[in-house]
Each structure stands twice: as structure tokens, then as C-alpha cells.
Amino acid sequence: MWTLPHKEERDKMIIAREKPFEEILSMIEGFKSLLIVGCAGCTAICLAGGQREVDRLKNEIKLMRKKINNPIQLQGYTVERQCESYFLSDLDNISAKFDAILSLGCGAGVQFIAEHYPEKIVLPALNTLFIGVNRDIGLYEENCRSCGDCKLAYTGGICPVTRCAKSIFNGPCGGSKNGMCEVDNSVPCAWCEIYERLKSQNRLHLMYKIHPSVQWKNQKAGFLIQKGFEKKYSHENS
């Protein structure tokens, strides 16, 4: 059964993309039957793990295994959410018939299915990338790194851990120029944006609050254009 997630689930989600097809084929090489399980939550909305992707992957695997004269029994099924045991019970009467389960859920969903069916081999069909927002159909942007120490109350709702290339907690690094990041001058400096946001809210005093530093690795916020939408959004990442 597949239903559209609630609006709050669509606005913020775990972003994932399908593993290379060759890697998936390698994982399932020795199996004669396979249950492909989608998730109607996050990975469905980011066009990586819903029923449509389940059906497409099932057909691709079937054709390739037939081509190499190694047929495989396949069935696809999409649960409401792979990260909740209540919904996994849908698989109780199905999973026993198959050698393995191929999950199109996030990493949490894969592990939860494996915990729910410890006797069953469970394989990931996706790579989980980040927690982000849906900017447009096929276009996703990271905005939370699940750091475990949220500072959004002090930064005007702009995450310095994700949006700043150096994940600095206490103001800009000194290398920003004209409001742009020194690591990538096509990206706005997160702390310049935080300053402007707090200024507009008359809350600039929050920038004087010092938070203990954390040793983060320099990095850019994640960004994903799903397969099939590259041409539409080519200017976004150029």
C-alpha cells in the first residue's frame, strides 16, 4: 500500500539516491528470489525509493538477469515507512518467500528491517546522503547535519554547521568577502546571512553569545539533483 506522506514529512526529509546499478547487481548475484521494498516516506518524495522506483528497479534487474541467463524471482512492495515497526508488519507474510530483501529506504530503514527480520539477508539499494529540504521536483538541499547540539535559536534559524563550509559556531571566519564564502565564492557566507537575519529581528545581541567550539571537517552543504533532472537544474550547481 502506498499513500502520500503528510506535508510536514514532505518539507523536510532524508535525501538518498540509488546505488550504481552494477553494485546492486553484484550484491544480489547469488540469489534466486528477491523482495524489493520501497518506502513511501522520505525516499519516495526525493524520487529514490517509492513504488515507481521499486517497479523500475524490478524491471531492470529482471531484464539484466534474463540477459545473462540467470533468472530471478522478484516482487516489489512499498510500506508506509520503513523506520516504524507497525508498518513493517505488512512484510511478515511476504518476506519468508524470498532469499533476500533489497531495501529502497534510508540507512535507518535498512537497519530496522534487518533488526525486524534477523534471519533474513537485507541489502541497501540506496546511498543515504543527508537531511534536507525539497527545493523543487528532483532538487534537494541539505540543511541539517544532525549534529546533536542545535544552535538555531541563536542563529536566526540558519544552521551554521551545515551552511558554513567550516561549520563555525561563533561568527564568520574572516575570509568571507562581499557576503560570499571563501571556500566557494558562489555560495553565500552563512554567517553574513545569520547577521542579516538577526539584524532584521532586532536580535543581534545573540551573536555575542559564545558557544564551545567543535572540531568539524571543512565541507560544503550537500546538494542533489536526482537522475533525470540534470538538464533542468544544470545552472544550480555550475
* Residues 72-130: tens digit of each pLDDT: 999 999 999 998 888 999 899 999 999 999 999 998 899 899 989 988 999 999 998 88
Average pLDDT over residues 182-192: 91
Instruction: Please name which of 186, 128, 130, 133 lies closest in space to residue 158, comparing C-alpha atoms.
Output: 133
164 with 200, same domain? yes
Output the pLDDT for position 218. 52
In a domain, 191, yes or no: yes
In a domain, 114, yes or no: yes
121 with 42, same domain? yes
173 with 205, same domain? yes
117 with 166, same domain? no
In a domain, 184, yes or no: yes
**Of 2 and 82, the one with more pLDDT:** 82
Q: How many C-beta atoms surround the C-beta of residue 238 within 10 A?
A: 6
CA quadruple 107, 56, 10, 39: dihedral sign: negative
76 with 153, same domain? no
64 with 110, same domain? yes
26 with 117, same domain? yes
Q: How many structural domains comprise the chain? A: 2
Domain range for 65 is 7-130
**Of 70 and 231, the one with more pLDDT:** 70
11 with 122, same domain? yes
pTM of the model: 0.74
In a domain, 63, yes or no: yes
Radius of gyration of the chain (CA): 21
> What percentage of the chain exceeds 70 in pLDDT?
89
The strand pairing partners of 78, in sequence order, are 38
125 with 152, same domain? no
173 with 115, same domain? no
Instruction: Please name which of 216, 223, 218 lies closest in space to residue 165, comparing C-alpha atoms.
Output: 218
Interacting residues of 4 by C-beta distance below 8 A, sequence separation 6+:
10, 40
User: Has residue 143 got a pLDDT over 60?
Assistant: yes
pLDDT digits (tens, 9 = 90+) for 22-71: 999 999 999 999 999 999 999 999 999 999 999 999 999 999 999 999 99
64 with 121, same domain? yes
Residue 62 and residue 139 in contact, taking contact as beta carbons nearer than 8 Å: no
Output the pLDDT for position 213. 72
